[in-house]
Amino acid sequence: MMAAPALDDRGIDMEAMHASAEDADLSLKEVERRHIEHVVADSQTLVEAAARLGIDTATLWRKRKRYGMK
């Protein structure tokens, strides 16, 4: 059984807040790269990934090339 998250008196998940604070120093480009990487890995095809990202497949191809993704 999974342990319940540690909530403060306002019901805020403090572990999740701490994790997002660690990511606060990421650049916008790094956030975009990670998001694209995650969506592509979670999609069956690049066409599906582009649709989920709300961009054209050619745009996804260019962004993947720019970020050095396979």
How much is the pLDDT for 25? 81
Tokens of 7: 């909530």
Q: Model's pTM, two decimal places?
A: 0.65
Residue 2 has pLDDT above 70, yes or no: no
Q: Who has greater pLDDT, 36 or 8?
A: 36
User: In the chain, where are the structural domains located?
Assistant: 27-66
Q: What interhelical angle do 28-42 and 46-53 show, nearest 10? A: 130
**Residue 70, CA distances (Å) to 40, 53, 61 in order:** 10, 17, 10
